[in-house]
C-alpha cells in the first residue's frame, strides 16, 4: 500500500523504519487519513514475516502536536447532528467515535511485534498516547523535546489510553500532577517518571531505537504480563490512603470545581487502577464521552484550541495583501515596555533599532533585554549562543535617522498625547514610504493620535500586555483611516513574534482594558458595600479568575487607575466615573501613598522576599464591614462574570469587536476571564441570552445600573439568538 503521510524502509535486520512526515504541514497531526494509514501499517508489518519490529519517528523537527482541528470539530458536529436526529443514540455514537483512537493504539500494543517510538521533538496529546502504546520509547536529549498531555487546558483529558498507561508507568501522584495541569516534561524528567526507556544524543536516536529491538524487546506491555503491579502498589496501600482522600480536595482548591475534565482524570485513574487494563480503557472512554458533552469542553475547545489557531493563522488578515517579511523594526521608547517589545522582536530573528532620547537611555533598554536573556539561559530555555544572537539583533540608538530603512516602527513612550505627537513627527520625518507606524498606547484612541500623522492609512495600534515576553495576546487597533496594508503588516509582525492577535476598532480602552476596568470597578463597589476584602478576592477566584481584582489593580498600579479616572472626567465630564470610586482611589494614592506593587503598598502589603503579600489591614477600616455570613458568595461570583460579559457584549454592539472569537480569546488571554467558560461571549451563549438578560436585570435592581442589559442583548433574547449565531465568524449561520 502507498502511504501519503508515512514512509517505510526496512533494513537488513528486518527492522522497519516508519517515518511520519505529512506533506504540506509544519507539524504532524492526527487526522482521519493518518489513523487509517496507521491502521494499515500495523496490519502490513504484522503480515510481513521479514519484519522483526518497527521504529516510528518523525520526518519533521517535532514529533507531533496531537489531534488536528478537523478531528476535534468532527466529534462535536457528529454528536450535535445525531442529537438533533436521534437523541437516544447520540451518546453511543460519540462513545464509539472516541474509542477509535483508543482501539487503534491498543491494536498496536497487542500486535505481536515490538514497536519503538523514536521521539525527536515536541510530542503532545495523542502522539504521546501512541508512543505510550509502543513497547519501547527513546527520546532525543535536545531541548526541543517536550512531552505532555495538555488536553485539560482545552477542557478535555487524555482519552486515548493516556490516563491508564501513565498511571501504570509512573507513580499515581506524578501521573495526576502531569495530567491535571497539562505540564510539559523534558526528556530527562519523562525518563525519571518511567515514561521513557532511553534518552540519547539526537544523532543516535534511530540507532538506539533499533538496538532495543535487536536486543530482544518484548512485544508485550508491562500490564499485559502476568504478575504486573502498579507502581507504588496501587489503590489499596498506606501511601494511596494518604494520596486519594487529599487529591480531590487539592483539585477543588486549585479549580473551584470549574473543570469537569480535571475531575474526570482523577476518576479514570482511581477506578482504572482497580480493574484489568482493557476495562480501564472502557472506563476512560465513558468519562471522555461524558466530558465531551459538557458546555465547558465545547466552549474551551472552541476558544482555546480552534479559535486561537484560526486567529494565530491570520483569520482576520485582509485578503489580497502580500505577506510582509519584516527585516527591520524600530522601537521608540526604551523603557521596560519598549525594551520588552524589542526583546520579543529580536527573539523572532528580526533586527531591532531601539531608540530613546540619548544613547545612555537606549542602552538601559538593551540592558533589560540582556536581563531577560540571562534569565532564559539560566532556566535552560535558550543556549548562551542563542542568547548572544538575540542580543546582537538589538541596536540601541538616539538617532531617528537609524529608522530610515525600517519596515515597521512601534512607539512605546509615555501615555501623553504631546510626547506621542513629537515621536510621530520625528519618526515620519525619516520613515520610508510604505513603512507602517504603530503606537503601543493602552488607553488613548488611535484615531486621535493618527491626526498627528501625515499618512494615517499607515498608522495603526499594536497594544502589548505586560510582561510582554509572557503574555500571549496583542490587540491590533484600527483607526478610522487605517488601511488594509497596515493591518496586514501588523498581523504579520504579531505572527512573527508568536503572539495571538485580536483586531478591534478604535475606542477608549479598546477591548481588554474596558473589560478589566469593569472587573476592578465591581470590586470597588463591593468594598464600598462593606464586603470583606478577602471575600472579594476569593469569590473572584472561585468564579474562575486567576487573580483577584484587588491584586490585579495592584499589578496595574493604583496611581494609574487614578490617572485613568481623572482622564475620563477631563474628556467626558464628571458623570463618566462613579464619584465614590474616585474618592476611594484618591484616598489610597494621595492620602495613603499606596500605588500598588510598584511601591510595595496597595490593596496588599508586599514584604521583602521571601515574604508573601497580604491584604492591607487598613482596607477594613475604609467602610463599615458586613458579616461574611450575610453575603451570598454565588452572587459575588455572578457579579464579576456578568459585569465583564456585559462589557464584552457592549463592545460587540458598538462594533468595537466584530468577531466573537476575538472577544472570547481576548478575554481569556488578556486578563484570564474564567477559561472554563470559553470566554466572555461563550459564557453568555452557554447560559442562554434570555437567561443572561434575566440575571442582569436582577443584578441591576440590587446593585446598580451598570448591570442593565443592552438593547442588543434584549433583541437577541427575544429572537432566541446567540453571539456565534448572530455574528457568525464563518459567514454561515450556526448554532452556538
Domain boundary among 443, 474, 508: 508
C-alpha cell at 536: 472579594
| The predicted structure's pLDDT at residue 218 | 96
C-alpha cell at 670: 488578556
Shared domain for 529 and 671, answered yes or no, is yes
> Going by DSSP bridges, is the β-strand pair 500-505/351-355 parallel, antiparallel, or unpaired?
unpaired
Residue 504 within a domain: yes
Shared domain for 483 and 519, answered yes or no, is no
Torsional sign, CA 316, 322, 324, 325? positive
Domain boundary among 508, 539, 573: 508
Q: Could you report the per-residue pLDDT of 575-588, keeping only the tens digit for each?
A: 889 999 999 999 99
C-alpha cell at 243: 494520596
State phi, psi for 140 to the nearest 5 degrees: -70, 150
Shared domain for 563 and 489, answered yes or no, is no
Shared domain for 426 and 495, answered yes or no, is yes
Shared domain for 615 and 483, answered yes or no, is no
CATH number of the domain to which 700 belongs: 1.10.1040.50
Q: Give the chain's mean pLDDT.
A: 94
Residue 736 within a domain: no
Residue 681 within a domain: yes
736 pLDDT higher than 60: no
Contact 5, 21 (CB under 8 A): yes
Q: Count Cβ neighbours within 10 Å for each residue of 372-391 and write b for 16 or more, e otherwise.
A: bbeebbeeeebeeeebeebe
Shared domain for 352 and 239, answered yes or no, is no
Q: Could you report the per-residue pLDDT of 301-319, keeping only the tens digit for each?
A: 999 999 999 999 999 999 9
Q: What angle do CA 312, 439, 446 make, to 5 degrees?
A: 95
Q: Could you report the per-residue pLDDT of 106-149, keeping only the tens digit for each?
A: 999 999 999 999 999 999 999 999 999 999 999 999 988 999 99
Whether pTM > 0.85 for this model: the answer is: yes
Residue 689 within a domain: yes
Domain boundary among 508, 537, 571: 508
C-alpha cell at 96: 464509539
Which residues fall within 8 angstroms of residue 376, CB to CB, at 6 or more apart?
382, 387
Q: Could you report the per-residue pLDDT of 345-367, keeping only the tens digit for each?
A: 999 999 999 999 999 999 999 99
| The predicted structure's pLDDT at residue 232 | 84
Residue 339 within a domain: yes
Shared domain for 489 and 538, answered yes or no, is no
Residue 320 within a domain: no
Structural domains of the chain, count? 3
| The predicted structure's pLDDT at residue 732 | 58
Shared domain for 722 and 708, answered yes or no, is yes
Which secondary structure element, helix H or strand E, spans residue 313, and what is its range? Answer: none
Q: Which domain holds residue 93?
A: 6-293
Q: Count Cβ neighbours within 10 Å for each residue of 717-727 and write b for 16 or more, e otherwise.
A: beeebbbbbeb
Shared domain for 527 and 565, answered yes or no, is yes
Shared domain for 498 and 625, answered yes or no, is no
Shared domain for 125 and 160, answered yes or no, is yes
447 pLDDT higher than 90: yes
Which residues fall within 8 angstroms of residue 9, CB to CB, at 6 or more apart?
16, 17, 19
Q: Active-site residues: which are they?
A: 463
Residue 288 within a domain: yes
| The predicted structure's pLDDT at residue 733 | 47
Which secondary structure element, helix H or strand E, spans residue 478, and what is its range? Answer: strand 473-478
Q: Could you report the per-residue pLDDT of 640-653, keeping only the tens digit for each?
A: 999 999 999 999 99
Shared domain for 441 and 520, answered yes or no, is no
The four Cα atoms 129, 135, 140, 141 give a dihedral, to 10 degrees, of 90
CATH number of the domain to which 500 belongs: 3.40.50.720
80 pLDDT higher than 70: yes
Residue 407 within a domain: yes
Q: Could you report the per-residue pLDDT of 186-195, keeping only the tens digit for each?
A: 999 999 999 9
State phi, psi for 131 to the nearest 5 degrees: -60, -35
Amino acid at each position: 500500500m502507498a502511504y501519503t503521510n508515512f514512509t517505510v524502509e526496512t533494513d537488513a535486520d528486518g527492522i522497519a523504519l516508519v517515518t511520519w512526515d505529512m506533506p504540506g504541514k509544519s507539524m504532524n497531526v492526527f487526522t482521519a487519513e493518518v489513523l487509517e494509514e496507521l491502521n494499515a501499517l500495523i496490519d502490513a508489518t504484522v503480515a510481513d514475516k521479514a519484519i522483526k519490529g518497527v521504529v516510528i519517528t518523525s520526518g519533521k523537527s517535532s514529533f507531533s502536536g496531537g489531534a488536528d482541528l478537523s478531528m476535534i470539530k468532527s466529534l462535536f458536529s457528529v454528536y450535535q447532528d445525531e442529537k438533533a436526529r436521534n437523541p437516544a443514540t447520540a451518546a453511543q455514537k460519540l462513545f464509539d467515535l472516541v474509542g477509535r483512537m483508543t482501539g487503534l493504539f491498543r491494536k498496536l500494543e497487542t500486535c505481536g511485534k515490538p514497536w519503538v517510538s523514536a521521539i525527536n521533538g515536541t510530542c503532545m496529546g495523542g502522539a504521546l498516547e501512541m508512543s505510550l502504546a509502543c513497547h519501547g520509547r527513546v527520546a532525543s536529549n535536545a531541548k526541543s523535546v517536550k512531552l505532555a498531555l495538555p488536553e485539560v487546558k482545552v477542557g478535555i483529558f487524555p482519552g486515548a489510553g493516556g490516563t491508564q498507561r501513565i498511571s501504570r508507568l509512573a507513580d499515581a501522584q506524578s501521573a495526576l500532577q502531569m495530567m491535571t495541569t497539562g505540564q510539559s516534561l523534558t526528556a530527562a524528567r519523562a525518563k525519571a517518571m518511567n515514561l521513557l526507556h532511553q534518552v540519547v544524543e539526537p544523532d543516535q536516536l534511530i540507532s538506539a531505537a533499533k538496538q532495543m529491538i535487536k536486543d530482544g524487546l518484548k512485544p508485550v506491555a508491562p500490564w499485559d504480563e502476568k504478575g504486573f503491579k502498579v507502581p507504588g502498589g496501587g489503590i489499596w496501600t498506606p501511601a494511596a490512603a494518604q494520596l486519594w482522600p487529599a487529591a480531590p480536595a487539592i483539585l477543588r482548591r486549585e479549580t473551584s470545581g470549574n473543570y469537569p475534565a480535571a475531575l474526570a482524570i482523577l476518576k479514570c485513574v482511581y477506578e482504572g487502577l482497580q480493574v484489568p487494563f482493557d476495562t480501564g480503557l472502557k472506563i476512560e472512554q465513558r468519562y471522555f464521552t461524558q466530558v465531551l458533552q459538557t458546555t465547558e469542553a465545547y466552549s474551551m475547545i472552541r476558544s482555546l484550541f480552534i479559535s486561537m489557531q484560526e486567529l494565530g493563522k491570520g483569520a482576520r488578515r485582509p485578503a489580497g495583501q502580500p505577506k510582509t517579511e519584516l527585516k527591520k523594526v524600530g522601537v521608540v521608547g526604551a523603557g521596560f515596555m519598549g525594551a520588552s517589545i524589542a526583546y520579543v522582536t529580536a527573539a523572532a530573528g528580526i533586527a531591532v533599532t531601539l531608540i530613546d532620547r540619548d544613547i545612555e537611555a537606549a542602552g538601559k533598554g538593551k540592558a533589560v533585554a540582556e536581563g531577560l536573556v540571562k534569565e532564559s539561559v539560566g532556566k535552560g530555555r535558550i543556549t548562551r549562543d542563542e542568547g548572544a544572537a538575540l542580543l546582537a539583533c538589538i541596536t540601541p540608538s538616539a538617532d531617528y535617522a537609524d529608522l530610515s530603512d525600517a519596515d515597521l516602527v512601534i512607539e512605546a513612550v509615555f501615555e501623553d498625547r504631546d510626547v506621542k505627537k513629537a515621536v510621530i513627527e520625528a519618526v515620519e520625518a525619516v520613515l520610508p514610504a510604505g513603512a507602517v507606524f504603530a503606537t503601543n498606547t493602552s488607553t488613548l484612541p488611535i484615531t486621535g493620535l493618527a491626526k498627528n500623522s501625515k499618512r494615517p492609512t499607515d498608522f495603526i495600534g499594536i497594544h502589548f500586555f505586560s510582561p510582554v515576553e509572557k503574555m500571549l495576546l496583542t490587540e491590533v487597533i484600527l483607526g478610522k483611516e487605517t488601511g488594509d496594508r497596515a493591518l496586514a503588516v501588523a498581523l504579520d509582525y504579531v505572527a512573527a513574534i508568536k503572539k495571538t492577535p485580536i483586531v478591534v476598532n478604535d475606542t477608549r480602552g479598546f477591548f481588554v482594558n474596558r473589560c478589566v476596568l469593569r472587573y476592578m470597578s465591581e470590586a470597588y463597589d463591593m468594598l464600598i458595600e462593606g464586603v470583606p476584602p478577602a471575600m472579594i478576592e476569593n469569590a473572584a477566584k472561585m468564579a474562575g479568575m486567576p487573580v483577584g481584582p484587588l491584586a490585579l489593580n495592584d499589578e496595574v498600579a493604583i496611581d494609574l487607575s487614578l490617572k485613568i479616572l481623572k482622564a475620563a472626567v477631563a474628556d467626558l465630564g464628571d458623570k463618566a466615573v462613579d464619584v465614590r470610586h474616585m474618592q476611594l482611589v484618591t484616598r489610597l494614592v494621595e492620602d495613603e501613598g499606596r500605588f500598588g506593587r510598584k511601591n510595595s503598598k496597595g490593596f496588599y502589603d508586599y514584604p521583602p522576599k521571601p515574604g508573601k503579600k497580604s491584604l492591607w489591614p487598613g482596607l477594613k477600616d475604609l467602610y463599615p464591614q458586613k458579616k461574611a455570613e450575610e453575603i451570598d458568595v454565588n452572587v459575588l461570583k455572578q457579579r464579576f462574570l456578568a459585569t465583564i460579559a456585559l462589557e464584552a457584549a457592549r463592545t460587540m454592539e458598538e462594533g468595537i469587536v466584530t468577531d466573537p472569537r476575538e472577544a472570547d480569546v481576548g478575554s481569556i488571554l488578556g486578563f484570564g476571564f474564567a477559561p472554563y467558560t470559553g470566554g466572555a461571549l461563550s459564557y453568555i451563549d452557554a447560559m442562554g441570552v434570555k437567561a443572561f438578560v434575566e440575571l442582569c436585570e436582577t443584578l441591576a435592581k440590587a446593585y446598580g445600573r451598570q448591570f442593565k442589559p443592552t438593547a442588543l442583548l434584549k433583541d437577541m433574547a427575544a429572537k432566541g439568538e446567540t453571539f456565534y449565531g448572530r455574528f457568525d465568524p464563518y459567514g454561515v449561520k450556526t448554532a452556538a
